[in-house]
Amino acid sequence: MSTTVTVGLGSCGIAAGANKTYDKIKALKESDNLDFDLKKTSCIGMCYREPLVEIVDDSGTYIYGDVDAERAIEVIEKHVNQHDPIRDFIVYTDLFDAPENDFMNSQVKIVLRNCGYMDPESIEEYEARDGYKAIKRIIEEKIPADQVIDTILKSGIRGRGGGGFPTGLKWKFAKANQSDEKYVICNADEGDPGAFMDRSILEGDPHSVLEGMIIAAYSIGATGGVIYCRAEYPLAIKRLNIALDQARQRGYLGKEILGNKDFNFDIYIKEGAGAFVCGEETALIASVEGERGMPRKRPPFPAESGLWRKPTNINNVETLNNIPWIVLHGAEAFSKYGTEKSKGTKVFALAGKVRNSGLVEVPMGITINDVIMKLGGGIKNDKKFKAVQLGGPSGGCIPQYLSETIVDYDSVNATGAIMGSGGMVVMDESTCMVDVAKFFLDFTCKESCGKCTFCRVGTVRMLEILERITNREGREGDIEKLEELAYEIKDNSLCGLGQTAPNPVLTTIKYFRDEYEAHIVHQKCPAKVCRPLLTYTVDQEKCTGCMVCLKNCPANAITGERKQPHLISQELCTQCGVCYSKCKFDSIILT
């Protein structure tokens, strides 16, 4: 019986202790001379179950969840040595019902087709999974560049980075501009929760991104490529460098690629500093050129004048990862998924108040509710689903009653949110929407490059208003002032950061205006999140007089005798919440 044991070693797994799990399994194999193959892979997608260990033997495939070093001993002993799978630890299998079968089986994996299924540091394993077969076919069959671009156009794929511009059309524009020097850039520096997705793809399937760039270069006639990746992704950069070296050795990069004397193309990595604004094309280009990352006026667009003022094509990680699959399987195979105007699949990074946080890839056209409730497993602790923030810090908040909205560019945009690069932050009834708007605006305010006055100053003024509202200092007319500022910023900012930064505020006002009014008019936070708006009192029937709250109150606002109900002075109380957190009898009431 042949057995392979694979440990998920993406950043999420490593953070959960997967390195220790791998080391323990390796030590057991060596010390006991066990007969199985031990391999590494990257993120398998079930980040909420890390560390993950997959065992494939003659009977089938099994994925074990929450496998720390101690559990690893039991798994190896029973499953590998005794051929007795431990059902209680199995989270996915193709042999019987397991907790996460629906999570895995409900997905359509094109972008994530290799992530978690191979060693990302092995070009042999990538090739064994049809890797580089697409570019080989193009070179060997001498498929014209225009025909490749036509395939991408017919597939209907749109850029997965935010704007959703047709990828094939972008390539067509770049090809049409004649120059002896052109560039392809992979934008791997987007700074929203979707950046977790980009990082996971780079860690788990770096060769597919390279192949996508090589095909793009062939199509537009590029000679140089750049992967712009934030330095905070050390594992992704490490695996990219390994993949680049391997690709050069195999002849996929460099001079006369695969014997084609007219095709010379190579790629290097530019490490960025993680500036959110550098997710915008022209700001990214400025950073690559050694300048401060600030957007430029368009036109001219990068396809005409980009890196070093040469025609340049920029796609993000997810977009490029689709390209080899489309070329290999055809435009129709891709376009059969999705809606009329949004083809293919979309990867989401599920986060927030959802049970199953992690990476999922679903066909366009699925409802937001299905993503959250079926793949995400619903809301944590059985609380009520309140809203979902879609599109990253510049995205919008979609309320629960619009959760049947389908995942496509036009439908999502109609709600006031954006698709972005795939961040999906789920919120429950305990979330304050005014506080959420303040949180995201604080981020975009700090990330503004400062070039546009409306973005640089306007976002600060909006943030000041939100801070007043959540600090019991809201004024009549604040909501209207926020809306006025938001539209001025959207209409007068140069790049996508400023044009979308007000979205969280506008959508929370649109769908949760009553919460703003409660904060301003009644000076109450319905979700009981904004401390300055909370009132702490003692339930006289529940209070046992244990004096814990009295002793821990930093403002000496609590009085009372031992074994007698206590009282809180509203004049002295600073709403710090210490009494609430320390009370063991649930006798502190928040209103």
Is 389 domain-assigned? Answer: yes
Going by the DSSP 8-state scheme, the letter that residue 278 receives in this structure is G
Residue 244, CA atoms < 13 Å, CB-side half-sphere: 16
Distance CA 165, CA 534 (A): 46
Whether residue 92 is found in the same domain as residue 205 = no
Instruction: Identify the domain boundary among 334, 355, 371.
Output: 334
Is 527 domain-assigned? Answer: no
Is 544 domain-assigned? Answer: yes
Residue 556, CA atoms < 13 Å, CB-side half-sphere: 0
Whether residue 351 is found in the same domain as residue 327 = no
- pTM exceeding 0.75: yes
Domain of 71, in residue numbers: 4-105
Residues in the chain: 591
Is 288 domain-assigned? Answer: yes
Is 112 domain-assigned? Answer: no
Q: What is the chain's pLDDT, residue by residue, as a tens digit (591 residues)? A: 689 999 999 999 999 999 999 999 999 999 999 999 999 999 999 999 999 999 999 999 999 999 999 999 999 999 999 999 999 999 999 999 999 999 999 999 999 999 999 999 999 999 999 999 999 999 999 999 999 999 999 999 999 877 789 999 999 999 999 999 999 999 997 655 456 788 999 999 999 999 999 999 999 999 999 999 988 899 999 999 999 999 999 999 999 999 999 999 999 999 988 788 888 899 999 999 999 999 999 899 999 999 999 999 999 999 999 999 999 999 999 999 999 999 999 999 999 999 999 999 999 999 999 999 999 999 999 999 999 999 888 889 999 999 999 999 999 999 999 887 788 999 999 999 999 999 999 999 998 999 999 999 999 999 999 999 999 999 999 999 999 999 999 999 998 889 999 999 999 999 999 999 999 999 999 999 999 999 999 999 999 999 999 999 999 999 999 999 999 999 999 989 899 999 999 999 988
Whether residue 26 is found in the same domain as residue 69 = yes
CATH of the domain at 143: 3.40.50.11540
Instruction: Identify the domain boundary among 428, 453, 474.
Output: 428
Closest residue by Cα to residue 4 from 82, 61, 44, 57: 57
Distance CA 390, CA 527 (A): 21
460-488 burial: b if 16+ Cβ within 10 Å, else e: eebbebbeebbebebeeebbeebbebbee
Contact 264, 258 (CB under 8 A): no
Whether residue 410 is found in the same domain as residue 437 = no
Contact 212, 247 (CB under 8 A): no
Closest residue by Cα to residue 55 from 6, 88, 99: 6
Is 115 domain-assigned? Answer: no
Distance CA 585, CA 541 (A): 11
Distance CA 434, CA 400 (A): 16
Q: Which residues pair with 345 in a beta bridge?
A: 363
The two three-digit tokens of residue 166, written as one number? 């047709």
Whether residue 422 is found in the same domain as residue 555 = no
